Structures are given as structure tokens and as C-alpha cells.
Amino acid sequence: MPKTKIKICAVQFRINPDFNKNISRIEQFFKKANKNNCDIICFPEIFATGPLNRKKYDAKIPILSKKTFLNLSKKYSIFSVMGSIIEKINNNFYNISYLFDDKGNIIGDYKKNHLVQKSEAKYLKAGNEASIFKTKIGNIGIEICRDLLYPEITRKLMLKNADIVFCPSFWSAESSSYDWIYSNKYFKNKIPKEVNALVSARAIESELVFVYVNAAGNFNADGIKNILLGRTQIALPFYGTTNILNHNEEGVIIKEVDLGIIKDAKKVYKIESDLKNYYN
């Protein structure tokens, strides 16, 4: 029978362009999660390398990344969402996230559905599925970064009885790749509003726990300068965001959530039952 109370560790990780430096730092966060009796840990999108293109792709990186999470999940007896990595599968490149159980087994993966058109869509193939993975700590769903802008993905996961949705992200507050109108007309010298608004909305409108895990600090590559947004946060039905790293420095959120709140939300809001009838 699935647990009713789950302790989550969300890692707002500062990404280095050097893969070896990133992967060598992962265990310290597993140790922290283990010390705090966490059931699951999650890292940001493209946590191991930052943005990549085909010229910089190294097939060893997905192999070593998965091996690291396999070993650490088993060593510390903790489930883990391996942020995401760029991986070549059947001659296509994907932005893909993996879920490991506490024995080190891969129990699911998710390919990013909605790619950034100005960058990753030029060399990556989009996924088209949204699945949940039934585990002893609840039904887990995953989406990645820009997917947050599309409520349909979280709704699909809700209708498949998701309890918790993890959203690894590499979301910038400022980026030289952003459209001029966005960066200058609306958010010049201001913090963008989308993440805070949408994380709360997804938890409430889809009657589930929503865990948004973003990268920290700055990241510059291929002439593109990024100041990451940070704002890693956990949101619940009724309340919206309850815990947030209200900055873009490295840090962690450790929070115990009672999944009973999902059952209560479904009784009160009746969104899931209403939508099942609506879509039929």
C-alpha cells in the first residue's frame, strides 16, 4: 500500500559546463536527503551539462549519469528524478528525464513534449506521451520546464491518477536568447512571473502535489548568457506554493507532504470527476 506521507528533497543545483564537476557533486545531496529521511530527490533539467547541441553531444554522458543515479538511489535507498539529460535514442535526440526507485531500477522516463522553438527544437525531437509511474510512495508524473506553460500535460497526469508531478527545469530570469519584446517591454529589470503563478495553479487545478525544481546561478554557453530564475518550490492543492527558494542561489527544499490532501481536494473541487465526464 502506498505511503500517505512523503518527504521530498528538491535540489536547486548550480550547473557547471564541466560534466565531471557536476556529476561529482551529486552524492552530497543524496547524503543530505538520506540524513533527513527523504523518500525522493529531484534535480533540475539538463543538470549534468547545461544546454547542449549535437556537436557537443557525448554518448558517455547519459550512460554515466544513469549509472550514478542507479548507484546512489540504491546506496541511499531513495527514489530519484534524474532531472533531465540530452540523449540520443534511435537516431533522435531527446530531452529526457528518468525516475529511479530505491533499489536503483529505472521505473520510468519522460521525454519533454514542448521544446523551446528558438533553440532545442532545432536539434531535439519532442516526446508526445505523459505517463504516471505507480510506486510505493505514490503515483508519480514528470514534465520538463516549458511544459509548465501547457496545462494539458498536468491534466493528463491528473486523469491518470497522479499524486505528485515533478517538473525539472532550466528556466532563466534573463537570457540573451529571449525575444526583445519579452526582455525589454515586460520584464526589463524585473523577475518574470510565470513560474510562481503556474506552479500554484497546476497544483490547485489538477488536485495534486507539484514539485518545481529549477537550476541556480548563471550559465553561459555558445554565446548565450543565462541568469537562472531559481524559485524551486513545492505546491499543494488548496494552498498553492507552500515552500520556495525565493532566489537563484544553490539550495534545497526538504518537505514532508501528506498525500491525504489530494483525496480531500478531489472531494471538494471535483475537478477530476467533472473533467472525466467532460472529455467523454
Task: Identify the pLDDT of residue 121.
Answer: 85
- Binned average pLDDT, 10 residues per bin, the chain of 280 residues: 86 96 98 98 97 84 97 98 96 96 98 90 92 97 97 95 97 92 93 96 98 97 90 98 98 98 96 80
Distance of CA 174 to the CA centre of its chain: 20
Residue pLDDT, tens place only, 142-170: 999 999 999 999 999 999 999 999 999 99
Domain count, the chain: 1
Task: Kindly report the CATH number assigned to the domain that includes residue 221.
Answer: 3.60.110.10
Residue ranges making up the domain that contains 236: 5-279
pLDDT of residue 94: 96
Put simply, whether the predicted model's pTM sits higher than 0.85 gets the answer: yes
Look at residue 119 in the predicted model and tell me its pLDDT: 82
pLDDT score, position 280: 62
pLDDT of residue 223: 81
Residue 60 neighbours by CB distance under 10 Å: 8
Say if CB 149 and CB 201 are below 8 A apart.
no
For residue 2, the model assigns a pLDDT of: 64
- pLDDT at residue 31, rounded to an integer: 98
pLDDT recorded at residue 199: 98
What is the structure's pLDDT at 28?
A: 98
